[in-house]
A = this chain, B = another copy of it.
């Protein structure tokens, strides 16, 4: 099945708003066996939406439109779809009841009722989160669905209403699954070299994506049966793991902070973090995971030298002799936060994030990471390229990876 996704909304063209809905949808359609061939973004202009729909009808079996189903004059998606499929708009009683129930007790504008007008023959998709209902039409070999533009509402409506409908209609014919292996601490060209043979194979389709935090390896398997898909993925994954081993930290959407958190939980160890150039980013990443209070004790953001000495007990002589950005200061920070917080592990980062502050000996991007444990302290030196944001992100990643490698050693 070939799908086209049409995102409507002038804010996606000139409003500084990124269309993230289409990515969510193409990812979710794949496991149902529906491949997205085109994505189109168009403004809230009747003739342009019409034009986009006409084009899509000529090249896709499944069309999903997002946006333009709210209560205002600008919300013209219902009208355009009705025109294109040559149907009248009729009041859907279930939709109207749901809208009125949701707005009960609030200031009520009659324009809200407009959202209950659906093309004749359309099936209602209730909105589990917001007000505007969606719908779909399935006739003459064409499946058109309409979802809200607000991502939270769109995702909920897809998951609860549209996905089951698509699975019933299209599922079980072609089986497609994607698996992503996430690496860090190894360059894209090194990954390419290590698994070139696998990347060259026709099936499954594999590819690399370099992100700030590391290189992702994507495997997409398409087969006529689910067992064959899974076995192909498993075989390919283990062939890649054989080549890349510990460089692989996680799968699919797993982030390193999640992997590290799970390892700390399993081993019942507690962590404290002292950050200079990353400025709180490592603590923020760790605590973004629900349940992190179970293993995260404390973080110290010690930007000023005085704070390094005062809050962590880093000897002033160490900073004076080796500099705030040095292996020795990083080690003292890691030991200092471990002692202060009385934790099993103390992690520290100090470096030059830029754009200023670099010198010939200590350029922008020079970062030291240190991990203190009961066995002593280990340090690493890194030289990252990129902007302030990139250096900070890469530093936070390699610091977290130090914890991961310690825990799996």
Cβ–Cβ contact B27 & A23, under 8 A: no
A180 within 8 A of B: yes
Task: Report the nearest B residue to A52, measured CB to CB.
Answer: B38
Q: Is the CB of B288 within 8 A of A284?
A: no
Do A301 and B304 have beta carbons less than 8 Å apart?
no
Interface residues of A in 3-25 (CB under 8 A from B): 10-20, 22-23
* One of A61-69, A138-146, A275-283, A371-379 contacting the partner: A275-283
Tell me the chain A residues, 264-309 only, with Cβ under 8 Å from chain B: 273, 275, 278-288, 290-293, 296-304, 306-307
Q: What residues of chain B lie closer than 8 Å to A13, measured between beta carbons?
A: 26, 35-37, 39
Q: Inside 8 A of A304's CB, which chain B residues have their CB? A: 293, 297-298
Evaluate whether A297 and B286 lie within 8 angstroms (CB atoms) in the complex, with A14-B30, A17-B209, A37-B42 already known: no
Residue of B nearest to A15 (CB): B218
Q: Which residues of B contact A173 (CB under 8 A)?
A: none
Cβ-defined contact, B293 with A303, below 8 A: yes
> Are A16 and B303 also in contact (CB < 8 A) when A38-B40, A218-B11, A283-B280 are?
no
Once bound together, how far apart are the Cα atoms of A282 and B356, in whole Å? 22
Q: Is the CB of A300 within 8 A of B300?
A: yes
Number of copies: 2
| Known contacts A301-B287, A303-B292, A42 near B38 by CB under 8 Å | yes
User: What's the minimum C-beta distance from A256 to chain B, rounded to whole angstroms?
Assistant: 16
**Which residue in B14, B27, B293, B302 is a CB contact (below 8 Å) of A298?**
B302
Interface 1/0 per residue, A243-261 and B, CB below 8 Å: 0000000000000000000
Q: Which of A35, A52, A280, A304 has the most CB of B within 10 A?
A: A280
Residue in B closest to A48 when the chains form the complex, CB atoms: B37
Looking at the complex, which one of B45, B207, B280 makes contact with A301 (CB distance below 8 Å)?
A: B280
- Closest Cβ–Cβ distance, residue A339 to chain B (whole Å): 11
CB of A228 within 8 Å of the partner chain: no
User: Does chain B have a CB within 8 A of A238?
Assistant: no
* Contact A287-B298, Cβ < 8 Å, known A16-B218, A37-B43, A39-B12: no
Q: Is the CB of A303 within 8 A of B297?
A: yes
| A107 to B299 Cα, complex, angstroms | 44
Query: Which residues of B are found within 8 Å of A302, using beta-carbon distances?
Result: 298
Measured CA separation A402–B407 after assembly (Å): 40
Query: In the complex, A55 Cα to B209 Cα: how many Å?
Result: 29
A209 adjacent to B15 (CB under 8 Å): yes
- Residue A14 contacts which of B14, B19, B220, B388 (CB distance < 8 angstroms)? B220
Which residues of chain B are within 8 angstroms of A287 by Cβ–Cβ distance? 278-280, 301, 303
Q: Which residues of B contact A20 (CB under 8 A)?
A: 18
Q: Does A167 contact B (CB under 8 A)?
A: no
Q: List the 7 shortest-distance A-B pairs measured between CB atoms, nearest first.
A: A279-B287, A280-B283, A299-B301, A280-B280, A39-B41, A280-B284, A298-B307
Contact surface of A with B, Cβ cutoff 8 Å: 10-20, 22-23, 26-27, 30, 35-43, 45, 48, 51-52, 55, 59, 178, 180, 207, 209, 216, 218, 220, 273, 275, 278-288, 290-293, 296-304, 306-307, 310-311, 340-341, 354-356, 388-389, 392
Give 12 A-B pairs besides A14-B36, A39-B41, A290-B356 with Cβ atoms closer than 8 angstroms.
Answer: A16-B27, A38-B42, A273-B301, A278-B284, A279-B287, A280-B280, A283-B301, A287-B303, A293-B303, A296-B303, A297-B306, A298-B307
